Amino acid sequence: MDRRKCGRLKQLSLIIIAAIIGFLFGIIIMALASRRWRGETLEISDRIQNLISADNIRNNLRETTKKPHVAGTEEDWKTANNLKELWLRQGFDSAKLIPYDVLLQYPPLEKGKENRVQIVNSDGGDPIFESTLRPDTFGEEDIEQDGILPPYHAYSGSGDVMGEPVYVNYGSVEDLEYLRTNLTPGINFTGKVFICRKWDFRVAAKNAQRVNAAALIVFPDPQDHSVSRRYGLPYPDGPYLPKSATVWGSLYMDIGDPLTPNYPSTDGAFRIPMSEAKFLSIPVHPIGYGDAQKILSYMTGPAPPADTWRGDLNVSYQVGPGFKDNMKQRKIRVVVNSEYQQRTTYNVIGFIRGSVEPDRYVIIGNHRDAWGLGAVDPTGGTAVLMEISRVFGKLKKEGWRPRRTIMFASWGAEEFTLTGSVEWTEQFHDVLTKRTLAYLNLDIAVTGKYVVFPQSTPFVAKVVAEALKKVQEPYPSDTRKTLYDTIKERLGENPEDGVHFVDGGTDYEAFYYGLGIASVNAYYLLDFKRVEGHPNFYSLYHTQYETFRLVDKYIDEGFLCHRAIGQLYAEILRNLGDSLLISTDMTKYINTVNSLSHDFRDNYLQKVLENAYRNISFDYLSDAIDEFSSAVENFQQTILPAVDTNDPLAVRAINDQMMYLEQAFLSRERLPGKAVYRHALVAPSAVVEDNVQFRTFPGLMIALHGIDDDPNQEERWEEVERQLAIVTHVIRLAASALKDFTSW
């Protein structure tokens, strides 16, 4: 053997020895770190609780609500850049802006071109009524400043149309069917201008377009928004809706940038033509209930059912069509001149690198954009997030690091289409699915002081319950010392039995329903037993009256509930980011799967068995659920307790096994017509058609919907069988994911 070969062999041997030593050294470090963290856990947890400051959160909210920060505007960029710089000053390892060029829509600002509703003569002239172009400001400088948008709904169709008014209640399928069939004669909807109470205005708009209505006018009825002197006064004298208030919102029926479905809206992205995007063409415009009362008072036609169709306006809610008496020749005119624009919005991502498992992430995120000042939605959550980041940055500066990497996220353009979070999860799909333990969503923080409403997926439900026991109740009694106690007493629920499942309407949608990442959401509720209308929400939602003054004076004076929400999220974040073995009760999954199965069986099984084009068996699905239940019980009772917590590789493996379980429930296909949703067991309740929610086994439900009226029965029932097979498959796959590594 020549010297060169000897040298190469010697060099290779040294490399191998060094690698082995490095590997063993890494294991030793991980083991020592594991022991060290066990000792520090209680101390760090208590320190975090004590460091969260109500005064700091109040100051944060005051600063972040000085200017409106609508997505795609200059203030959107300023708030993003300010947050990035703040996180770097607070001690984060890194923070950066991630831009996305997305399609947004804005109302016209030029005088004379404003969106509006008028009552006009038959040729469109001589208006005797015009809707409020700008709601009352009550002399408040915050509301009077430039940048507060006029009334509009994003992604509305544009146009200048006239027609006879028809009051359609909430605009649901059942409401329209009542007008068409229960009245004599029934109303022909073609060319009519619908007026509806605000509830699910997206569905109302879709229904209006489907029956060829000319336009839709949406108003917040006092009955639905808890407007009554027995509850309190309207803004500015109280926290309730004044008569000129209009409610902003988005009409887009999916999530993510409309022109880049399934892919991020980055440089070089392919954008579909506008004609292929899923936009409504019908003009839709919001008005205040003061304007609605004027229009409804002029209307003719029969009076609808008092118990379900009449709100709290001082009118009879006659349905039309048209106006009465000397106004019979008058029409409703709706003008919508909103414009689509390609704008840049920004996410801000900050990192605190994990000391032991830097490639495992716990993410906490809040959307930064608001329709106006957004003191409740979302800037109350932003203020809390800024305080949590301060505390974690302070601990890092003092030498502490979490076991896993903690990521802080601030999303852009959530109010339009959950845009920022969707585009980010599309851009980093593979990285996030392989590395993310959980996502904590902090949107609205506080709407009242009554009780915390926690939501999560089963994997992290126990961590949430433990945090609820840790955080002190801000307004305690003899029987309510912690947030946990208050939930038990006021909601009649035991969080240890499982907290409410996440639903939708905020940024965890992309993480959970798209990527299969465990998610958490929580906020403080008002006393829904005291008020009617929106039981869990607040009257001024998505209005220009979401001011700092509203929160400081009427919602959470002292900011003690904001502090409690900050403590809750901080404890969940610490637990998931720093615990050796994730605390969980996987048997919650048995309850979830069984509940979904029972819901489907109770509502749809008989229909399938009676009407199927050919025999369809549910035996395989039942067997799969039994197999999954057995696997979960064995994992919880046998595999999990047997983990050697002194072996960092064994701990890592078992944590990953639990982390990846949720991804087993993802179908390889997206739900029909949806850009993100792939979860085969559950979908957000907003996935709806003809007033039917497709929350349980959504692919199967969509396949069954309207099947009796389809002439192609064989093809439709084939699709039912295919979707049933997908549900069966993912449940079997989930069972395999929890079995021993060598026995699945």
Structure tokens at 484: 């946990």
DSSP string for 41-59: HHHHHHHHHHH--HHHHHH
| SS3 of residue 199 by DSSP | coil
Q: Residue 730, CB half-sphere, CA atoms under 13 Å: how many?
A: 24
Is residue 503 part of the annotated active site? The answer reads: no
Instruction: Specify whether the CB–CB gap between 377 and 370 falls below 8 A.
Output: yes
Report the amino acid identity of residue 268. Answer: G
Strand order in the sheet with 159-163: 129-130, 116-120, 331-336, 159-163
According to DSSP, the residues that pair with 120 across neighbouring strands are 331
Is residue 387 part of the annotated active site? The answer reads: no
DSSP string for 645-694: TT-HHHHHHHHHHHHHHHHHTB-SSPPTT-SS--BSSB--TT-EETTEE-
Instruction: Specify whether the CB–CB gap between 462 and 585 falls below 8 A.
Output: yes
Given 583, 617, 622, 736, the catalytic residue: 617
Given 414, 556, 578, 719, the catalytic residue: 414
**Distance (Å, whole) CA 62 – CA 379:** 10
DSSP string for 227-238: --TTT-PBTTSS
Structure tokens at 640: 């999990």
Is residue 456 part of the annotated active site? The answer reads: no
**Distance (Å, whole) CA 483 – CA 490:** 10
Q: Based on the number of CB atoms within 10 Å of its own CB, is 399 exposed (0-12), middle (13-18) or buried (19 or more)?
A: exposed
Is residue 53 part of the annotated active site? The answer reads: no
Q: Based on the number of CB atoms within 10 Å of its own CB, is 294 exposed (0-12), middle (13-18) or buried (19 or more)?
A: middle
| SS3 of residue 721 by DSSP | helix
Instruction: Specify whether the CB–CB gap between 192 and 164 falls below 8 A.
Output: yes
Q: Which residues contact 80 (CB under 8 A, 6 or more apart)?
A: 97, 346, 347, 348, 368, 410, 412
Q: Residue 287, CB half-sphere, CA atoms under 13 Å: how many?
A: 27
Q: Which residues contact 295 (CB under 8 A, 6 or more apart)?
A: 117, 119, 129, 165, 195, 217, 332
According to DSSP, the residues that pair with 688 across neighbouring strands are 693
* Residue 12 vs residues 3, 8, 15, 23: alpha-carbon distances, Å: 14, 6, 5, 16
**Residue 672 dihedral angles phi and psi, to the nearest 5°:** -55, 130
Given 114, 172, 679, 719, the catalytic residue: 679
Given 656, 689, 718, 721, the catalytic residue: 656
Active-site residue set: 414, 617, 656, 679
